[in-house]
Chain A
Amino acid sequence: QLQLQESGPGLVKPSETLSLACNVSDASIKSDNYFWGWIRQPPGKGLEWVGSIFHTGTTQYNPSLRSRATISIDTSQKRFSLKMTTVSAADTAVYYCAGFSRSGGGSHWGQGIMVTVSS
């Protein structure tokens, strides 16, 4: 079963850059059948899509975050990453990475990582 695991710092200072990585358990990261995404959830709020990437490197971003978010992928390391610049308290959230089937087969999610933006 495909598994994903987020990693990165749990505390980031305001105005700095948030950097997270997602390790994927198998070669599905190179497959045309999947795309990979970051989703976040502020405390007590709903789910918000941050952006997605395909194994080719093609990306899509939430328009509200496009100017600050960058998603990259390293298929040789079975990993994709999120960088978000100039963070503020509004970026405090649990960040999930997930793999989405392009053939209607559902999705697989990591357990999530809590990131707090505070000085």
Chain B
Amino acid sequence: QSVLTQPPSVSGAPGQRVTISCTGSDSNIGAAYDVHWYQQLPGAAPKVLIYASVNRPSGVPDRFSGSKSGTSASLAITGLQAEDEADYYCQSYDSRLNGLVFGTGTKVTVL
């Protein structure tokens, strides 16, 4: 059972902006642990999109951005493109579980 909750799916037309929420609690996101975001294309390993809540690895387009507030975090995709169709996961650390926790995952569909 995932500790971090995400919407099962979000969709948007090409060029639009979509956001994915990641809701946690005071033992993970609310405890100031970093949030990381991954993009997973079909049949591929997760790829780091955002690390430490707001940072993009080199090579990740600036259309992707992360934010965090309280016990939640968000991933925003602006200028949505067909290649952004994928599953997205958030991840943090939980002090009650003493380990990593992942979000439930969100499927992004480009209409």
Binding site for B on A (CB under 8 A): 37, 39, 46-49, 51-52, 60-63, 96, 100-101, 104-107, 109-112
Contact = CB atoms under 8 A, between A and B. Distances in A.
Given A47-B46, A96-B45, A104 B102 contact: no
A8 B16 CA distance: 43
B89 A52 contact: no
Main SS of chain B's interface residues?
strand
A33 to B, nearest CB: 14
5 contacts: A46-B105, A47-B38, A51-B99, A96-B46, A111-B45
Interface centre among A37, A49, A61 (most CB of B within 10 A): A49
Contacts, number: 55
Main SS of chain A's interface residues?
strand
A62 B97 CA distance: 7
Contacts of B101: 49
A105 B51 contact: yes
A110 B45 contact: yes
Nearest to B101: A49
A37 B100 CA distance: 9
Contact of A104 (B52, B89, B98): B52
Interface centre among B46, B47, B55, B57 (most CB of A within 10 A): B46
A107 B100 CA distance: 12
B99 A60 contact: yes
Given A106-B55, A106-B57, A111-B45, A47 B36 contact: no
Given A47-B105, A51-B99, A52-B99, A106 B51 contact: yes
A47 B103 CA distance: 8
Contacts of A48: 102
Contacts of A46: 2, 89, 102-105
A61 B97 CA distance: 9
Interface in B49-90: 51-52, 55, 57, 89
